[in-house]
């Protein structure tokens, strides 16, 4: 009986061992594309990488990224096709073309073709969205108040408002502002004042679908002609020299990409989370190829 128990126990617990499987079962090498052509850019950049098996190590160092070099990359607007040039730098490598070779215009479609030296290919297309107008922008200096941020730090708050006319159908928007001013840090012993340029992101009034690092940044799809106010509070500047507002109109594809990335990345390390798929508009590849337009408005303040 004892022998049998030993036999039984050994069989049960050793032959059912955890088996390591390298998940390369259906790994397919794909071209990863990142490109965000903007009507206001003078140079259009496109980064090509290779994906890796799940069991591989990914470097965060730009120099060591698995760049895809020497590929044939063309972008066309249906009439004119431009071959992108490969640039290999010390810190990063990318393909580029200048806006003289190919002009990105609102409402137009553009087609991307990539052929790698080893015979792989990827395709995509984008449509540059129509921009929306900034109706007004303001900084409410009357709301300035000294507040306590942490136990030993003080700052000033003021309300910054951007009012825009979202007139692009089927488009999504980013809004953000660069604040040029001085930052002061108070603590019990010292006070330091520095000239800074800081980025701020706005909270539209409604609850938003997307958060990045706790900042609500992206609007939902809006109706044409509806004015929307975006508000934020500047906590850090004691003096503001100027504020530059940016309204970026993006394609739905970019919204989907960012939204899915946010869902995936927020739970990457959570072993109890459901898997999340990452959106891509690259045929036979990964990543995103999407167009944007930017409008900006600068306000000079004399505080």
Partner 1 sequence: MAKSTILIFALLFYGIKIYPNNFVLSGFAFDKNSREPLIGATITDKNSDKVCISNSMGYFSLQLDSGLHEISIGFIGYKTHVEELGISKDFELNVYLETLPFQLDTVSIDSKKNSESKTVQSGEINLPIHQIQSIPSILGENDPLKIAQMLPGIQSGGEATPGFFVRGSAADQNLVLIDDAPIYNPFHLFGIFSVINADALKTFEITKGGYSAEYGGRLASIVNINLKEGNKNKTKGYLNLGLASSKVLLELPITKNKSSIIISGRSSYAHLFAKPFLPKDQYGTYYFYDFSTKYTAELSAKTKLYFSGMFSADRFNLVDEYLPHSLYYARVKWNNTALSLRINHVISKKLFWKSAIIFSNYNLLSKAQQKNLDATYYLQYQSNIREIALKNDFTYYLNAYQQIQFGVTITRKNFVPDAVTSKNEDASLLNRTIQEYNAIESAIYFEDEFKLGKKLIGRIGGRVNVYSYKNKTTINPEPRISLAYQLAKSWAIKGTYTQMHQYLHLISTKGVGLPTDLWVPATNKVPYKMAKQYTVAVVKDFAKSFSISAEGYYKEIFNDISLKEGSSFMQIKSIDVVDKNDLTWEDNITTGTSWNYGSEVFIHKKKGRLQGWISYTLAWSISKFKELNFGNSFLNRQDRRHSLSIMMIYRINEKWSISADWVYMTGNHITLANSIYNNIDILPENSYLESHSNFVNYEFTGINNFKMPPYHRFDFGLSYIKQRKDLITEFDLSVYNVYNRQNPYFYYLVSSPDKSESKVINSMMKQVSVLPIIPSINCKISF
* Least distance between partner 1 and beta carbon 59 (Å): 6
Count Cβ atoms within 10 A of the Cβ of residue 242 and give its class: 0-12 exposed, 13-18 middle, 19 or more buried: middle
Q: Are strands 285-289 and 31-35 parallel, antiparallel or unpaired?
A: parallel
- Comparing CB distances to partner 1, the nearer of 12 and 192 is 12
Q: Which residues pair with 160 in a beta bridge?
A: 139, 232
Window of 132-140, 162-170, 214-222, 231-239 that interacts with partner 1 by CB under 8 A: 214-222
Residues 179-208 that bind partner 1 (CB under 8 A): 199, 201
- Nearest approach in angstroms of CB 9 to partner 1 is 4
Q: Is 268 in the site for partner 1 (CB under 8 A)?
A: yes
Q: Binding to partner 1 by residue 32, rule CB under 8 A?
A: yes
Other CB atoms within 10 Å distance of the CB of residue 232? 20
* Distance separating alpha carbons of residues 285 and 277, to the nearest angstrom: 14
> Counting contacts by CB under 8 A, is residue 4 touching partner 1?
yes
- Indicate whether 43 belongs to the interface with partner 1 (CB under 8 A): no
| Listed residue (215, 204, 205, 281) closest to 247, CA to CA | 204
47 touches partner 1 by CB under 8 A? yes
Is 10 a residue that touches partner 1 (CB under 8 A)?
A: yes
Q: Binding residue for partner 1 (CB under 8 A) from 42, 60, 192, 194?
A: 60
CB of 116 to partner 1, least distance (A): 15
Q: Is 134 near partner 1 (CB under 8 A)?
A: no
Binding flag, residue 54, partner 1 (CB under 8 A) = yes
Choose the binding region for partner 1 from 71-79, 120-128, 149-157, 277-285 (rule: CB under 8 A): 277-285
3 binds partner 1 (CB under 8 A): no
Considering only 42, 192, 194, 269, the residue that binds partner 1 (CB under 8 A) is 269
Number of chain positions touching partner 1 (CB under 8 A): 81
Q: Which of residues 236-255 bind partner 1 (CB under 8 A)?
A: 246, 248
- The CA-atom distances, in angstroms, between 11 and each of 5, 7, 15, 18, 19 are 10, 6, 6, 14, 15
Nearest-angstrom CA–CA distance, 67 and 27:
18
- For the chain, report the end-to-end CA distance as a whole number of angstroms: 91
Q: Is 65 in the site for partner 1 (CB under 8 A)?
A: yes
Closest CA to 200 of 253, 242, 166, 250: 242
Per CB under 8 A, which region of 47-55, 77-85, 115-123, 137-145 contacts partner 1? 47-55
Torsion of CA 63, 66, 67, 69, to 10 degrees: 120
Residue ranges of E strands in 151-236 = 153-166, 172-186, 191-201, 203-204, 210-212, 215-218, 226-234
């Amino acid at each position: 009986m004892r022998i049998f128990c030993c036999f039984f126990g050994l069989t049960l617990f050793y032959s059912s061992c955890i088996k390591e499987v390298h998940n390369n079962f259906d790994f397919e090498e794909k071209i990863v594309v990142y490109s965000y052509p903007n009507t206001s850019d003078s140079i259009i950049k496109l980064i090509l990488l290779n994906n890796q098996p799940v069991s591989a190590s990914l470097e965060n160092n730009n120099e060591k990224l698995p760049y895809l070099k020497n590929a044939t990359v063309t972008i066309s607007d249906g009439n004119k096709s431009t071959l992108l040039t490969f640039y290999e730098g010390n810190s990063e490598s990318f393909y580029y073309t200048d806006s003289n070779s190919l002009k990105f215009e609102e409402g137009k479609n553009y087609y991307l073709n990539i052929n790698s030296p080893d015979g792989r290919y990827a395709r995509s297309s984008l449509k540059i969205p129509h921009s929306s107008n900034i109706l007004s922008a303001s900084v409410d200096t009357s709301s300035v108040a000294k507040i306590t941020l942490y136990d030993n730090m003080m700052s000033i708050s003021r309300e910054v408002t951007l009012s825009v006319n979202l007139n692009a159908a089927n488009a999504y928007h980013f809004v953000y502002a660069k604040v040029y001013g001085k930052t002061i840090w108070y603590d019990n012993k010292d006070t330091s004042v520095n000239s800074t340029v800081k980025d701020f992101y706005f909270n539209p009034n409604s609850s938003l679908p997307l958060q990045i690092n706790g900042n609500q940044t992206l609007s939902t799809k809006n109706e044409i002609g509806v004015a929307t106010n975006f508000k934020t509070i500047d906590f850090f500047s004691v003096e503001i020299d100027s504020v530059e507002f940016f309204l970026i109109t993006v394609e739905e594809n970019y919204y989907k990409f960012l939204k899915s990335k946010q869902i995936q990345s927020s739970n990457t390390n959570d072993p109890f989370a459901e898997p999340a798929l990452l959106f891509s508009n690259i045929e036979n590849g990964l990543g995103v190829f999407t167009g944007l337009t930017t409008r900006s408005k600068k306000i000079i303040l004399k505080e």
